[in-house]
Structure 1
Amino acid sequence: HQCARTRAQHTRGRASFVDPSTLQVIKDDGETMQVSCASILLAVGTKPFRPDYIPFDGRSVIDSDELLDIKELPRSMVVIGAGVIGIEYATIFSALDTAVTLLDPKSTMLDFIDKEIVEDFTYQLRDRNMKLLLGQKADKVETLDNGKVALTLDNGRHLTTDMVLFAAGRMGATDALNLAAAGLEADSRGRLKVNPETFQTSVPNIYAAGDVVGFPSLASTSMEQGRIAARVAIGAIAKEPPKYFPYGIYAVPEISTCGLSEEEVKERGIPYECGIARFRETSRGHIMGLETGLLKMIFSLKTRRLLGVHIVGEGATELVHIGQAVLNLKGTVEYFVENTFNYPTLAEAYKIAGLDAWNRMGDIKSEL
């Protein structure tokens, strides 16, 4: 719809480089055409990483793309990989009453998220009987004659399940682009290195944006990267984007965060205070019957400015935008204390958390 609104010409097909300024496109109907242009933006995304030691069969051992085509819900599932995609699917199937085991070689998960939020999230997962086998690796995966899948872990433990979802990473979908013809080279995971300010690759007229350039691999940031790259490509002034953007993890429950985590604030040596609100403290939370949900804000003791907002619970990915706006506009704790929020809403949690922080910080001192 947005392409139609901007009258952007759209052609379906598979493209590959002929030279740095020319693409060959094989259209869906088999017709081949060549397109020459001054600038090229690559936004090809990623595909699931499929290591040789995993016996993918599209039925009982699948990747995150094949998951969308399953015919029925499994009674049990082992998810290999505790990254964002693995956690999202693991919690979705757990909410659908599948017995889920989450397996990952790392002893921690979601390291870029505030530790207190991850601890609350982990508690909720364990509370609904999800098994978290962190710090353990699957050495062997094999399909049994009865259709089930057997896993042998590096500690000798054996697991049997109806389905294995391998979600331990993705690779840039660049293998069919003939990058060599354009003078480009991808890394071992198929990703392209770019200038983080202009999103230019090593070839000046070729740009890349989205998952193919790596972290944070979010749809929202990918669109902004593409917008900046397009403006640079046509010589338009591209303003520096806002310093902080939100992360959204669409697990059950949702997680969303914007700004600095408490661990990052500590590393920078910034004196700080936190404010906490639990969704069950809000009237809307009572109406919705929520027993879980947490909103955390971090403020500078020196400037009283908001440094970070972190949420786990119902509607977290929507609620975070209030904190994002205050953060990028350099707002202080007083914003949350002195402003009125609709009642009853979960957004009231901002006022509760703001008051919690303000009570710990005290009123503004005269010298400030």
Structure 2
Amino acid sequence: MVVGELAYEKDLVIIGGGPGGYHAAIRAAQLGLKVTLIEKEKLGGVCLNEGCIPSKILTSAASRLNLLRDSEEMGIGSSQPTFQYEKLRNYQQKVIDQLRNGVQSLIQANKIELVKGNAYFLSDDRIGVEGNDQYEVYQFKKAIIATGTQQPVISGVQIDGNRIFHTKMLQAIPVIPKHLLIYGHNEIALEMASSFHSFGSEVTILLDKENFGFDSSIEKELKRVLKKKKIQILKNAQLMGVQYADQNLLVELQIQDEKISLNGTHLLISTSGVPNTRDLGIERIGVSVNESRYIQTNKQCQTTVPNIYAVGDVADGPAIAVKAISQGKMAAESIAGKLVEFDPNFLPKVVHFQPPIASVGLTEEEAVELGMDVKMGQFPLASNGYATILGKKDGLVKIISDSQTDTLLGVHMMGEGAIELISSGVLSLEMVAREEDLRFPFYPHPSINEGMLEAIEALNGEAVHMPPKKNSKKELIK
């Protein structure tokens, strides 16, 4: 087909079928729009096929394996459980296929046109699509870019899928590594460190920063747990190169002014992605990107070209699926004429570590940097009755509040049930809750939930299952 000879007219064209793209497509269809969704690879994007879902299957398997190992004290089992890694990989693929087929069925049920191919902008109202030896042009009224990110190239490192992997290749790791080196600091780096340690690997984290980006109390507890697991951490490490040495890898690192070499059998690179914007042709139509090439958007996810929107990892902001899902639905609603806006302030951050980590809102350090006069309440799960019953005593609940208004500023958790319980923190911050709003309700007993109640009470030194501070008696005498 000759460019410009014929253009198919569309109401809404979405580029990218990951969480942001397919949620946008379905919500737009629900609101009566005729939608065309363009995906060059697999529906569900990186999250479903390579990232979120594959990694959580591994963390789920590790959690079950740990549970079996830890159950003997309760009189359950008499020998070490068997573990077949190849069988887990088959199960992983089965789940991914089921979920992708589910998305496919939803696309069909909502009468969304699905086009396979590589898309790029010809103008601010036309997209060209190449695929299956065909080239077609689509003229659109509105468009949403949801193309996600790709792994960055690291000089001196050749990712081969044999011994060296990135986090979009989790399914490709053929065996349980004898010594797994993990370079990065993000959620998947921690999740894979915990999981492969549970599978029997020796694990070393090559942390490319000073810390993992959590509140200081969570950082301290996390590093204690890593030490207990005998997972080594090298901080402020920069990956300079990798060489093969017989059955091992020789990884070259720069740590401050020192160059060191480290042996391992496998290397997993888990660093932030690079936005997929270079081949979209957005420069020719005036869509602005920042210095890191993330697309700049307003609160409605509009780019600098008003009829073109961007959502998810390709847009500026945190690269997490919950952001992509929320932005995708919100962008579709905005296009349909609804008055909506995206507010990223209370996006929860979760890590399926062992034990899980979850946080929302300001850390203690961030609140202090903003000049706030803050109170901090912290409660260790070692003092929680139900955590003791479960044998899951690692972790804590920490709550930050404004000492002037008692308004909650942040909720940070590490421990059993943290990922489910953080929703209470998200709702509290969204509703501008004060201390009394979390202190007043009833909490089921016994439960991990009581850790949140005692963290709230600890804001004023009233947590029942914590010993009084050493100076409290002196203060009372005064």
The normalised TM-score by structure 2 is 0.69
Distance 1:200 1:47 in 2: 22
> Which residue is equivalent to 2:253?
153
Query: Residue deviations 1:324-359, cap 9 Å, x none?
Result: 112221222223332111223211111111222233
Contact 2:206/2:235, CA 8 A, preserved across alignment = yes
Shift of 1:189: 4.5
- Aligned amino acid, residue 119 of structure 2: A
Distance 1:3 1:164, change over 3 A: same
> Which residue is equivalent to 1:216?
318
> Which residue is equivalent to 1:66?
169
> Which residue is equivalent to 2:267?
164
Query: Residue deviations 1:307-332, cap 9 Å, x none?
Result: 11001122222111111112221222
What 5-or-longer segments of structure 2 have no aligned partner?
1-102, 464-478
Give 2:126's match in structure 1, choosing from 13, 22, 39.
22
Give 2:216's match in structure 1, choosing from 104, 111, 115.
115
> Which residue is equivalent to 1:134?
235
Contact 1:101/1:130, CA 8 A, preserved across alignment = yes
Contact 1:336/1:355, CA 8 A, preserved across alignment = no
> Which residue is equivalent to 2:302?
200
Distance 2:325 2:392 in 1: 33
- Between stretches 85-94 and 182-191, larger displacement belongs to 182-191
Query: Residue deviations 1:109-160, cap 9 Å, x none?
Result: 233x21111111111111111111002323331122x232102233232211
Contact 1:95/1:252, CA 8 A, preserved across alignment = no
The normalised TM-score by structure 1 is 0.88
Distance 2:155 2:344 in 1: 41
> Which residue is equivalent to 1:314?
416
Counterpart mapping for 1:1-368 below 5 A:
1=103, 3-4=107-108, 6-27=110-131, 29-106=132-209, 108-111=210-213, 113-144=214-245, 146-154=246-254, 155-184=258-287, 186=289, 189-195=292-298, 197-239=299-341, 241=343, 243-359=345-461
- Aligned amino acid, residue 23 of structure 1: I
Distance 1:137 1:270 in 2: 35
- Aligned amino acid, residue 121 of structure 2: F
SS at match of 1:157: strand
Shift of 1:255: 1.7
Contact 2:155/2:241, CA 8 A, preserved across alignment = no
What 5-or-longer segments of structure 1 have no aligned partner?
362-368
- Aligned amino acid, residue 224 of structure 2: Y
Shift of 1:78: 1.1
Shift of 1:276: 1.6
Distance 2:390 2:358 in 1: 20
Aligned length: 356
> Which residue is equivalent to 2:34?
none
- Aligned amino acid, residue 170 of structure 2: L
- Aligned amino acid, residue 233 of structure 2: L
Distance 1:239 1:319 in 2: 26
Distance 2:362 2:186 in 1: 20
Contact 1:333/1:358, CA 8 A, preserved across alignment = no
Distance 1:323 1:82 in 2: 24
Distance 2:293 2:196 in 1: 29
Greater helix fraction, Structure 1 or Structure 2: 2
Distance 1:92 1:214, change over 3 A: farther
Distance 1:33 1:186, change over 3 A: same
Distance 1:184 1:128, change over 3 A: same
Query: Residue deviations 1:225-248, cap 9 Å, x none?
Result: 222322333432115647423122
